[in-house]
Structure 1
């Protein structure tokens, strides 16, 4: 259906019933009839777990920004959660990817041991001049270990061991996921926002929600407990530093209604989209026109909204732009809704495919959702579009977890691990295990109180039926189907257009 104007609250309820949008066009798969059922999937960002392969991609970006070094390696497909919701077929992604040199996870050290006398002799052989470590000098130590040691010595001199214990104790993690997130997100609240978004007020608001002092919220990742794994926010902080060979800047610009920043960057953004469609999806050059770009990714029925419950940037439709050294290399199309950040589409410069921009941008969107949560506590999910179990290229979506799938009959969210065995047996399945559960938002049989728009006048459907002539015709079946698809709540708020 076409949506001329839609509140973010109505659209939130619609996506929670399996709807999605493409520009101003809203669509919902017929789940029990389609050959490939499409289940709405979301990620619980407060308990998000980085996988080993995702950490490698984040570390690769860290190294590239620091010194520009990139080496080939094997990594997963560069897929963005919204990548399969495109108007054109998805081509097989490139198998060439990259790895970083430097810090690795402990799990990365599990490599086959080299055995045999030749290997041992080679290991004992002194290095050539100018190559390798000097065996006559002490083993090198990590810079962060040296900084930590100097900091502890300084604390001991100033206040004795007691003050040192207090300083180390302040870096212990909070007891819950939300508390840990608020503490780690506060320094990053200005990331992804336009330059006039007010970073200082964001930070203070995040600290108030978390109940933190300035000193607690401002702790550097190096003050974490030893052997504590890096969080997603730690990686984002490294990528924002801007003191390396390359500088990455992420900007959030409102696309509808278009902001001045969006209008200023529109020409270069369109050219990036066109090149992406032609190179990656093999579109003919004439197909991705400016009008098609506007209809597909710029126009939106969502009305921008600012309220006490919204994040500082408000609700609505946005473009999240990735600028590398002043060059636009990727754009994520997003909807910020009352309970979620919804990913619509991503396009990027094929020249930077070696950075796995699809996966990297998805991780940045997860981090952005976590930041928005500190300002709007109801906003705690990242919606990744649809999941098709029979499509191997979509299996990666459950790696953005914990993930939930939407039951197509009761519209309840079910943890993905409980759903996958059912989908292995049947492509279409009632995912809710509770046999007595029903759709609590079902409209029922009473249609008289539902709203329609006739001759530019809003009215209840019962009143519309009483009008004489063509206006009084029986539209029960069409109105009933509309109410069943959108749910009772939306059917009582949204106006169904009648000619």
Structure 2
């Protein structure tokens, strides 16, 4: 990391353009995927925060921005409001499945409902000039990772993870206003008869019966004078709806002392272009990139990577052992990641979002990210965040869409003066205007103009663009 007077750190990048198409890992089009790319030698967490808020995303040290109006499968940046998140029915099922496995040792049979990783072993991410796809780094087996990971003590108590995993599209989310019920009703064929007996009271719903039994228990519990309570057999008046259980309540449900398995989490700093930083008003673990390890009975079963940035936790990817695919570790890790974001927000108030990477509506298997709500998609033209509910109708009609419907809205950080963009030339930092005068007839103005437009005026004046 280059540091100047006053101990100021700089991001240093090399820009590669993006005129050639390459293979898409989602629709398998051989030349349909287009994106701009740059190699990041070093990067500050604030610069990366601003870049992902303009549609960029990193894969290792390669940072790329899809050409949404040209690429075959447009990839829109998506973020979840972590503080407002409530687990859906499918999310609760996954959390209960993990809890049941840990407490009773019962590994679900068969494969999971389909855990689409973001193009593992696919050419979905762009290629750098060497033509080596960065997504190959996701293809290592968990055994290989175990050899590479350091054996150090945990930095903090766990919760990292992430990855993209999905409930099936047929599972719809709903708000649960009470605790999850274990009862299951079975449908049976009705017996032949003459209909309802007018001499008997009408049947009551099982839900009402459960409410009545719960009210009876509460009244008995509240009776402190030792006299039995007399409860009217008539249906009780509707009780006020209880608050829904929080995500943390499901994750932290107590387990028996004799649980069959022990699941632990450990977090380590990992190699990435992001410079590790600490701030007085930031989280205790600091900012930067972290490995999160899942240890099951002393054995690593999954490893995730996340970036902790000034206003968000950004999901990168997850490795997990194929023997445990039926546990839905991708979805489970995303839920724990949201809980981790909420924990960090208590230490750093402005850190309140969870970024899931890209939402790809044209690829049905990648729509699951839209189920982590409330969430927003990034408008590709104004870079304003728009609730996903307002975006989906547009994406049903066309692959590329401008989400901000204000015709007068524009890019708040639009490039105004390329001459003020900073460059690194012969180990010296200078504005591009000064660099052009030194070079006397430099032919790279079109390239620098394109780069600065993509990163925006603010980033162009902070990030150093390397010039040979």
Fold shared, TM-score > 0.5 on shorter chain: yes
The answer to whether the aligner puts 1:115 opposite 2:115 as a matched pair is no
Q: Deviations over 1:28-67 (max 9, x none)?
A: 1111111111111111111112111111110111111111
Match of 2:418 in 1: 447
SS, match of residue 40 in structure 2 = coil
User: What are the equivalent positions in structure 2 for 1:413-492 lying under 5 Å apart?
Assistant: 413-444=385-416, 446-468=417-439, 473-492=442-461
Displacement of 1:395:
1.4
Q: How does 1:253-272 map to 2 (within 5 A)?
A: 253-255=268-270
Moved more, 233-242 or 452-461: 233-242
8 A Cα contact 2:263 2:296, kept in partner: yes
Cα distance in 1 between the residues matched to 2:428 and 2:77? 35
- Residue 249 (structure 1) shift: 0.6
2:56 paired with 1:19: yes
Q: Structure 2 CA distance, aligned partners of 1:383 and 1:241?
A: 34
In structure 2, how many angstroms separate the alpha carbons of the residues matched to 1:148 and 1:429?
Answer: 54
SS state of the match for residue 483, structure 1?
helix
Distance 2:413 2:108 in 1: 53
* SS of the residue 2:291 aligns to: strand
Compute the displacement of 1:150 (Å): 10
- TM-superposed CA distance for 1:407, in Å, is 0.6
Report SS of the residue matched to 1:467: helix
**Contact 1:53 1:75 (C-alpha < 8 Å) held by counterparts:** no
Kept in 2: contact 1:77–1:94 (CA 8 A): yes
CA–CA distance in 2 between the matches of 1:239 and 1:366? 20
Greater percentage in helix: 1
Structure 1 match to 2:250: 235
Alignment of 1:77-476 (within 5 A): 77-79=114-116, 87=135, 105-106=180-181, 109=184, 111-116=186-191, 228-238=243-253, 244-255=259-270, 299-444=271-416, 446-468=417-439, 473-476=442-445
Q: Distance in 2 between matches of 1:341 and 1:451?
A: 28
Measure, in 1, the Cα distance between the counterparts of 2:68 and 2:303.
30
Deviations 1:282-317 (A, max 9, x none): xxxxxxxxxxxxxxxxx3110000001210000000
Inter-CA distance 407–236: structure 2 relative to 1 (3 Å threshold):
same
Shift of 1:393: 0.4
Equivalent pairs counted in the alignment come to: 351
Q: Secondary structure at the match of 1:333?
A: strand
Distance 2:453 2:332 in 1: 38
* Secondary structure, aligned partner of 1:487: helix
Q: 1:448 deviation in Å?
A: 1.9
C-alpha distance in structure 1 between counterparts of 2:316 and 2:119, whole Å: 6
Cα shift readout 1:355-391 (whole Å, capped 9, x = no counterpart): 1111111111111111111111111111111111110
